[in-house]
Amino acid sequence: MKHKSCPPNQMSKSEALVTHTAIDQRVVSEEVYYSRQTALKEIAGTGQLRLKNAKLAMIGSGALGCAALPYLAAAGIGTIDIFDDDRIEMSNLSRQTLFRYKDIGKYKALVAAKSLNDHNPFIQVRGKTKRIISGNIDKLLEGYDLLVDGSDNLSAKYLLSDFSFAHRKPLISAGIYQFSGQIHVFSDFKGGCFRCFWPEEKGWPAPGINCSEAGILGSVAGIMGSIQAHEAIKIILGLPRLSDDTLFSINLIDDTYKKIKKFRREDCPCCASFVSSEANSTPLNTENDLSRPETQNYGFAQEFNLDIAGLRSLTNAVLVDIRDEEEAVPWSQQISIPFQTIPFWDTESFKKLPKGKTYVLLCQSGQKSKLLARELFLKFPEKRFLALNMGIKEVIKSLLQQ
């Protein structure tokens, strides 16, 4: 007996049943997908719903973004938009693990979004090939619950921090350098902003050191990006998180970490207006005891730069030339300040330097020494590191003009 065929665009009862079953199965599959994390009492069904309703913007899909994004997506954050106008290059592949050799030349944001949508079909991930700049940041980022900073330059970090404080949008920012990394979380806005920790100087952001010059290990980016994702998830769930007044620093060459508490700068152009007079006058406590006499003037809320007049005023200074051999110029024997040479990459030698002196770093232009002074402060907070704000040829000339 022949069955009547269904009219076009209509389903038979059996077909409708199969489709209905597939929809039900999809709902069940979503529950199974998140079952291991919803077993946690801190998440359960209510927490998973909070994740599903959240809207997050990832700025940058490089090494940090590629590490953070898979965990953000797998956790079930309902809407994730990736902002990045860069294309994939061969040198990215060793640390940016969302991309494959066949993806070279494609937009990072689009490739990352497709990979994440394939991994979790229950959320929406969109790639946006736009660079966040001062002229479009208000329009592009206004609708998000929180921001994750995967950028690799200071100008972007300043911009995102300013936006975060102006609009009270939580921001998780990270930076990596060789074998170390730092995490800033800005969520309750009771601590200092990014500019308070890393003061913007005249002519800054400087070219400084980048990954191609100093190098970076992919696993370092992987660890720091994973922490960013973890902090973002905790903010959405309302769980305890890193304090706004704390910089979390990890050294992955000797497996040590520090939580360094800092205070707002009174003259900060971004957040000084939010500081009460009491907060301005009372620095926060610190696990690294930054109130010690030998370090109190050299925290993140102070400049690391030193001019010639400042150098001459120091009684226990040691000049340290951090240039590579090919950059070297002869040092004048007429200068009486103690002098030694340690290449910028030789962390072990910096570790062995005795305490009680002020080590003033010199380099070819003054830029690399500024960045290294900050890095050494994080690694060895018990020692004092400063950087001269000029190149070594200018230093020699100025010191000889007694």
pLDDT tens-digit series, residues 192-240: 788 777 765 433 333 344 555 567 888 999 999 999 999 999 999 988 8
Quote the CA–CA distance of 77 and 213 in Å, as a whole number.
36
CATH of residue 116's domain is: 3.40.50.720
Residues 273 and 361 in one domain: no
Residues 256 and 321 in one domain: no
Residues 321 and 269 in one domain: no
Parallel, antiparallel, or unpaired for β 246-251 and 180-186? Answer: antiparallel
pLDDT tens-digit series, residues 80-126: 999 999 999 999 999 999 999 999 999 999 999 999 999 999 999 99
CATH of residue 386's domain is: 3.40.250.10
Residues 236 and 334 in one domain: no
Residues 185 and 254 in one domain: yes
Residues 266 and 315 in one domain: no
Question: What is the overall mean pLDDT for the chain?
Answer: 75
The answer, as to whether pTM is greater than 0.75, is no
Sign of CA dihedral 317, 377, 209, 207: negative
Domain that holds residue 262: 35-281
* Residue indicated by tokens 């059996």: 14
Residues 312 and 372 in one domain: yes
Residues 237 and 383 in one domain: no
Q: Which of 281, 315, 347 is the last residue of a domain?
A: 281
